[in-house]
Amino acid sequence: MTQTERPNLPLFTEARPRTGYRLVQLPFELAAEIASNEHRFELKATDAESPVYLCSKTRTYQLLQLSQSNSLFLVTPEHAPDAMDIEGQAPSRFHATPVKTGYLECIPADPKPDLSYVPRYAGSEDLATVESELTYQELHSRTPVSETGLASAWRQAGGVEIDGRIYVLADDLVARLLIAIVDGTRAERLEWAALTAANTFGAVADEGEPQSVVTAVLRRFSDSPEEPYALNIPTIIKWFGERVLEEHGYSALRLADFDQLWAEALPTSLDEGRSLDLLKGRYVHPTPSSILYFPPSRLPTAPAARFDRLFDVKASWDTEDITPFLTDIEPNVDRINVLFMKHTKKKTVGKRTVVSRRGV
């Protein structure tokens, strides 16, 4: 149908903008998820001054305001039974509502849930002194992240629910139960790659903790969040090594002393597998024979400031050694090369690629 053949369709407009409408530009995958009606969507923010996130079951987007000079109208069809077209059918008429200039854009985000306010659980004997008032649903409602994102963070933090209230397991308790789980299941000749909550609890029942607590430790160090659980032995060894470094804080250790302390901290069933490669991005060598805890949490989050701090510690870095100190601010490893090009001087030395401070 040409423009001249089209019937006249009345267009009604309002003179004043409506403030109750905000336009949101949806990514294709999010629009498809909304159209499916399978999940609930929520707008969340930690407080009135914080960014707002649109959260689905599996995805999290930060909402950013984009302004433009063009006029924007929200146009909706409206049935008009009193106006008939040439074929005897009622045409649509349209209602155009001006909206505020600009719209909201959905930017994929991966915010880290703040679990610092969740009470720490140090053991059944201390439960009465740290009784929690929080439920998991309350945590979900106040945390601006998707359901799956929160579930993953909760698992990695050692979150547990006891009598309907939630806690995060204290590291001392995790260490004690992890040793009991590894050594106890080995003594019972259970396969570390196929554990259940029931048979693991049976092997450590003497620890006096409820099964939910034992299961929380098991899930935290398993390759799978569901049964059968498969203990990730390198992750366990790494966790104990980082714990030894953290306990010494800002004090450097002789490498030989650190290795001995690391071996003593591990379950007796894990007498092999220690390697500094497991701890990359968590330490530096003040001298060739010493080691110092140096996690990304101590470093600035702005890329330029992050590189300045790293080059203060060490004038030049192999790219494979410095990359683990950057993955928290740029999870996409392929894009870390962009950071190198923007903030460092990069050169090849033999088969190695080395970065250093610009202008030096």
Q: Which helix (H) or strand (E) holds 5?
A: none
Query: What is the per-residue pLDDT across 148-181, written as a single tens digit (0 to 9) for each?
Result: 999 999 999 999 999 899 999 999 999 999 999 9
One DSSP character per residue, 193-224 reads: TSB-HHHHHHHHGGG---HHHHHHHHHHTBS-
pLDDT at 3 over 70: no
User: In terms of residues, how long is the chain?
Assistant: 360
Query: Residue holding tokens 């690391």?
Result: 262
| 327-345 pLDDT per residue, tens | 989 888 889 999 999 999 9
| Rounded percentage of the chain residues whose pLDDT exceeds 90 | 56
Strands 24-25 and 103-108, by their bridges, are: parallel
Residues 6+ apart with CB under 8 A from 24: 54, 63, 103, 104, 105, 106
Could you report the per-residue pLDDT of 301-310, keeping only the tens digit for each?
A: 999 999 999 9
- Containing 92, the helix (H) or strand (E) segment is strand 92-98
pLDDT, greater one: 37 or 13:
37
Peptide bond into 7 cis (omega under 30): no
**pTM of the entire predicted model:** 0.80
Q: Which of 270, 318, 324 is nearest to 344 (CA)?
A: 318
Lookup: tokens for 14:
């309002």
**What average pLDDT is seen over the chain?**
86
Whether 7 has a pLDDT exceeding 70, the answer reads no
Model confidence at 228: pLDDT above 80: yes
> How confident is the model at residue 11, as a pLDDT?
55
Domain boundaries in the chain?
Answer: 11-108, 120-231, 235-357
Specify the pLDDT at position 218.
Answer: 95
